[in-house]
């Protein structure tokens, strides 16, 4: 899956070094990693550990992870993945992590177009969902600009790596909505420099 500015390729252990360089925590600055349910894996062993577990989940059939690669230089700068794959009910979730220097460039929106197109047109999903830490206001704004529908908040449902009880906002896109939503996203990518953050 690719566009002019982004290539999604199956995640490999060889991507871990790039990801450690482009997505690692920066001391004294807020990080997208703070909002992820899988943050403990990163804190245990960096991106080697995180990528390793994502690949284990791929083997079990629950996840399908991709490296987000800058096609101009071949450098991985993020991860996006299908997760909680429920083939029996044609439902899947998308989660994304983008390195700081690649944020606010519309790449998240582009990745969502590629992933949603694959989910609905290839996987034949009936529903795609997103769960976002309610503290991550940039990602919530991004998903709402995308056109996903807000369904509610799961309160204090996850204990995070730092002891915080995470509440998550849930959004979804349904197959019957995709026909109208896809051209809107394509138009937004072509005509706007929307500030984007990982969801």
pLDDT confidence of residue 194: 39
pLDDT of residue 197: 39
Which pLDDT belongs to residue 26? Answer: 62
Residue 121's pLDDT is: 96
Residues 6+ apart with CB under 8 A from 150: 144, 169, 170, 171
Residues 174 and 99: their CA atoms lie apart, in Å, by: 28
Q: What is the pLDDT of residue 195?
A: 39
Residues 22 and 18: their CA atoms lie apart, in Å, by: 6
Strand extents, DSSP E, the chain:
7-10, 64-70, 75-86, 91-98, 127-133, 149-159, 165-174
Tens digit of pLDDT per residue, the chain (199 long)? 767 789 999 999 999 999 998 887 665 455 667 778 887 788 788 899 999 999 999 999 999 999 999 998 999 999 999 999 999 999 999 999 988 878 777 788 899 999 999 999 999 999 999 999 998 888 899 899 899 999 999 999 888 877 889 899 999 999 999 999 999 999 888 875 433 334 4
Query: What is the three-class DSSP state of 106?
Result: coil
Q: What is the CA radius of gyration of the chain?
A: 16
Strand pairing class (75-86; 91-98): antiparallel
């Amino acid at each position: 899956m690719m566009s002019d500015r982004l290539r999604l390729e199956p995640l490999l252990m060889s991507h871990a070094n790039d990801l450690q360089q482009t997505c690692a925590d920066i001391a004294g600055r807020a990080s997208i990693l703070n909002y992820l349910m899988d943050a403990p894996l990163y804190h245990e062993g960096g991106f080697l550990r995180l990528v390793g577990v994502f690949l284990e989940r791929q083997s079990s059939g629950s996840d399908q992870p991709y490296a987000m690669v800058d096609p101009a230089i071949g450098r991985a700068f993020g991860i996006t993945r299908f997760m909680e794959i429920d083939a029996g009910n044609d439902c899947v979730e998308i989660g994304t992590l983008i390195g700081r220097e690649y944020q606010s460039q519309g790449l998240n929106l582009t990745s969502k177009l590629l992933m949603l197109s694959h989910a609905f047109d290839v996987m034949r999903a009936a529903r795609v969902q997103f769960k976002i830490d309610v503290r991550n206001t940039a990602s919530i704004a991004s998903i709402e600009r995308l056109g996903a529908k807000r369904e509610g908040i799961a309160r204090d449902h996850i204990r995070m790596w730092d002891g915080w009880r995470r509440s998550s906002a849930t959004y979804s896109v349904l197959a019957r909505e995709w026909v109208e939503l896809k051209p809107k996203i394509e138009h937004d990518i072509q005509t706007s420099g929307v500030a984007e953050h990982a969801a």
